[in-house]
Chain A
Amino acid sequence: MRDYLLDIVKHTLPLSAFTQLRIDCNDDSTSISATETEKQLVLRAKTHAPIPDFAGTFGLPNLSLLNTLLNIPEYDDTASIEMITKQTDDTVIPFNIHFKNAAGDFKNDFRLMSQKVIESIEPQLAMRANFPGEFVPSMNSVTRLKYQASAHPDEKVVQFDVADGKVSASVGDASSHSGNFVFQSDVDPSARYSFAVPSGFVLGALNMAGDKKICMGDLGIMITVDSGLVSYDYIIPMVTK
């Protein structure tokens, strides 16, 4: 469980976007979902195999606390990290995650959110958007995007224009400083759409460890990062007036 929890925290906390994660478990896999308060970023992730001990639907709150606990040396590979459940009426519900070091003399309990609470905060969503443009971003393109974003720290969005078989990225605007470059060549020459998305979340997702894929559509961008344990879809709706 420790490896999964570390993987999840590493792929969510650095974005500073989510205050809690919704966990839905079934026999084949475990799903993780979250929506940023201003709806600028949606996470939909799925493990390649079910997380041991995880069951039902519950919420993981306070990711920074969870990160701290997971990185306490007492809770290394020899420690015990297990899900504690609680009987309420006729059902057994996930209650907390119990941390105990190898000697059994150092403990923490990380409290979970109930199904009822997490469902009210993070209702299940059905995706109806298409992302027809798909490519694997090069390291060079990601680096160049970082350069442009760092050159324009006051600009919060990056504009992607897909046309003529290439994806152009622009930062800034016509009335002030601006910059642009070709982010990707050799995409579908018939594709034609433009959108602006928060650059912080684009770069944040592209900074995550794992194999990456970018999908684009007329409503925004989806960046998929596969860590080996979990496949994370970071969906970033475009910003409009």
Chain B
Amino acid sequence: METVDLETRQKDYAVFLPALSGFYATFVGKQRYNDYVDPARVPAGFTNSVESLNFLAPKDAAFRYPWALYSAGHANLDTTKLVEKEDMVRNRDRNGTFLLGDSGGFQIAKGLWPGEWADPNCPKAAKQRKLVLNWMEEYMDYGMVLDIPTWTFRDPKASAACGIRSYQDAVDATRINNDYFINNRKGNVKFLNVLQGGNHQEADDWYQQMKDYSDPNVYPDTHFNGWSMGGQNMCDVHLVLKRIVTLIHDGLLETGLHDWMHFLGTSKLEWATLLTDIQRAVRKYHNPNFTISFDCASPFLATANGQLYTHNRIEDRGKWSYKMQPGVDDKKYATDTRLFSEVLINDKGIPFLEGPVSKHLAVKDVCIYNPGDLNKNGKEGKTSWDSFSYCLQMGHNVWAHLNAVQTANEQYDAGIVPGMLVDDRHNELFFRDVVNEIFSLQDKQKSLQLIEDYSSFWMRVVGTRGFTGKKTMNSHTAFNGMFSPA
């Protein structure tokens, strides 16, 4: 099988990390130990069996891309036992791949890891904290600290389950976790200090309360090694730029000490290019090792919802996106040997961009059930897909997302610009030029003033969630300061 090399194509772009699904990894992992998938079920073009879907593998996969994110939130944290379904993660090539571990703070915030997290003596929380740290040390290159998002206390059910009842509880609980990580880390994994906060004021406060954990003067041997942007920090470019300028002048973005910054849950295609702009500017003027990564689970979640990545929309001064639509799910194709893509294009009229996974798929590889066939539960279902059909389409969707991100960067470098990154009301003002100017200034106040001067420009840049675009300007902070429940 010819391997499409997405590693070389990555160049100096900000690094997208597919948030690897446990469902997907299970197929790769379990197949190494037994025929989890019947060999006759594997598409004929997959010369390396299910391993052909392992994009972390050095060779013999449909495509090679050595970067990903994996979450402790859905991992088996017991490092003392063989866990076949996690073999793709646990037994990867450690020298040729990079895995960022998400900590599971989301699981705490959703009440899925119950405990009194703001209580340093809660045994349930202490046990989970230890498991996560140990798992990170064992299997990850970088890991996020166990942060508690500030929105946790607004969900009454989750708030009750995890004992986080206020913004300050979230801060206190995160500090408890950070202290534990600082005091017990062995040094096998580098940690990212997670920044939360629902608006600029909260984000500033959070930063002030957490920045010491990354300070080599405070923790010379055990300080955290980079940053992860959560909450409003990950979707509001105004706040992103302010924070990075502040980090530089606080001595907390230093070469060899704090080289990595991750943006959580970022799926907007335009952000792939603007994060490259920021990475390049910081590398040029401050830290040549500085690397930005960003993740989302869209390729996997889309498949779970029956959606297939089909093509990209990248137009100069337009809105950029990767397009998805429902794929083919019809039992009449169960004996059809035509290419999957041929059916999508000719039978369904779907504009479909062929990829290194899909080119090996016959439509019968996806639509596996004939009318009357029974599924693994012994029943005839409505769908023609089995669970491996989902896995195959996830493989395609991961490639398609990576291809979209890399194509976006290539087009951006060729002078094609997304609408949100240029203001041509008066003259052509490009995002990349303003960012370059901000980081070229060696004076903190001048950089911050320049960021403020372009306040309205930043509101053109729509983020993935939270208050983005024009909604970044809102009354919520002042309202909460003015009023309290009677």
Tally of chain A residues near chain B (CB < 8 A): 28
Minimum CB–CB distance from B321 to chain A (whole Å) comes to: 25
B454-486 interface (Cβ within 8 A of A): 454-457, 467, 472-479, 481-486
A175: chain B residues within 8 A (beta carbon): 423, 429, 453-457
B190-223 interface (Cβ within 8 A of A): 199-201
Given contacts A123-B486, A126-B484, contact A240 B200 (CB under 8 A): yes
Q: Does B379 contact A (CB under 8 A)?
A: no
Minimum CB–CB distance from B238 to chain A (whole Å) comes to: 6
A235: chain B residues within 8 A (beta carbon): 482
Minimum CB–CB distance from A43 to chain B (whole Å) comes to: 12
Mask, A201-241, CB within 8 Å of B = 1, is: 00000000000000000011000000000000001111111
Q: Does B278 contact A (CB under 8 A)?
A: no
Q: Which of B455, B474, B481 contacts A219 (CB 8 A)?
A: B481
Comparing A34-42, A52-60, A102-110, the segment that makes contact with chain B is A34-42
Assess whether B473 is in contact with A157, with CB atoms less than 8 Å apart: yes
Name the residue among B426, B429, B457, B475 with the largest chain A CB count within 10 angstroms: B475
Assess whether A38 is in contact with B475, with CB atoms less than 8 Å apart: yes
Q: Does A86 contact B (CB under 8 A)?
A: no
Q: Does A125 contact B (CB under 8 A)?
A: yes
Q: Does B365 contact A (CB under 8 A)?
A: no
Minimum CB–CB distance from B239 to chain A (whole Å) comes to: 7
B481: chain A residues within 8 A (beta carbon): 128-129, 219, 237
Assess whether B482 is in contact with A128, with CB atoms less than 8 Å apart: yes
Mask, A147-175, CB within 8 Å of B = 1, is: 00000000001000000000000000111
Assess whether B239 is in contact with A241, with CB atoms less than 8 Å apart: yes
Name the residue among A39, A123, A127 with the largest chain B CB count within 10 angstroms: A39
B238: chain A residues within 8 A (beta carbon): 241
Q: Does A124 contact B (CB under 8 A)?
A: yes
Bound-complex Cα distance A210 to B441 (A) = 52
Assess whether A241 is in contact with B472, with CB atoms less than 8 Å apart: yes
Assess whether B485 is in contact with A239, with CB atoms less than 8 Å apart: no
Bound-complex Cα distance A220 to B474 (A) = 12
Assess whether A123 is in contact with B485, with CB atoms less than 8 Å apart: yes
Bound-complex Cα distance A127 to B199 (A) = 22
A128: chain B residues within 8 A (beta carbon): 481-484
Q: Which of A129, A176, A236, A240 contacts B473 (CB 8 A)?
A: A240
A29-82 interface (Cβ within 8 A of B): 38-40, 42
Q: Does B116 contact A (CB under 8 A)?
A: no
Assess whether B453 is in contact with A39, with CB atoms less than 8 Å apart: no
A116-154 interface (Cβ within 8 A of B): 123-129
Assess whether A240 is in contact with B479, with CB atoms less than 8 Å apart: no
Assess whether A125 is in contact with B478, with CB atoms less than 8 Å apart: no
Bound-complex Cα distance A3 to B455 (A) = 46
Assess whether A240 is in contact with B426, with CB atoms less than 8 Å apart: no
Assess whether B484 is in contact with A125, with CB atoms less than 8 Å apart: yes
A123: chain B residues within 8 A (beta carbon): 485-486
A176: chain B residues within 8 A (beta carbon): 425-426, 456
A39: chain B residues within 8 A (beta carbon): 474-476, 479
Q: Does B236 contact A (CB under 8 A)?
A: yes
Assess whether A42 is in contact with B483, with CB atoms less than 8 Å apart: yes
B425: chain A residues within 8 A (beta carbon): 176
- Name the residue on A nearest B201 (C-beta): A240
- Name the residue on A nearest B476 (C-beta): A39
- Name the residue on B nearest A125 (C-beta): B483
Assess whether B477 is in contact with A125, with CB atoms less than 8 Å apart: no
Assess whether A40 is in contact with B475, with CB atoms less than 8 Å apart: yes
- Name the residue on A nearest B239 (C-beta): A241
B482: chain A residues within 8 A (beta carbon): 42, 127-129, 219-220, 235, 237
Assess whether A241 is in contact with B486, with CB atoms less than 8 Å apart: no
B457: chain A residues within 8 A (beta carbon): 175
Bound-complex Cα distance A70 to B386 (A) = 64
Assess whether A237 is in contact with B478, with CB atoms less than 8 Å apart: yes
Minimum CB–CB distance from B76 to chain A (whole Å) comes to: 41
Assess whether B474 is in contact with A240, with CB atoms less than 8 Å apart: yes
30 contacts between A and B (CB under 8 A): A39-B476, A39-B479, A40-B475, A42-B479, A42-B482, A123-B486, A124-B485, A124-B486, A126-B483, A128-B482, A128-B484, A129-B482, A157-B473, A173-B455, A175-B423, A175-B453, A175-B456, A175-B457, A176-B425, A195-B478, A198-B475, A220-B475, A237-B479, A239-B474, A239-B475, A240-B199, A240-B474, A240-B477, A241-B467, A241-B473
- Kindly list the 5 A-B residue pairs having the minimum CB-CB distance in the complex, ordered from nearest: A237-B478, A124-B486, A129-B482, A39-B479, A125-B483
Given contacts A42-B483, A240-B475, A241-B200, could you give 9 more A-B pairs where the C-beta distance is less than 8 Å? A127-B483, A128-B484, A174-B453, A175-B455, A176-B456, A239-B474, A240-B200, A241-B455, A241-B473
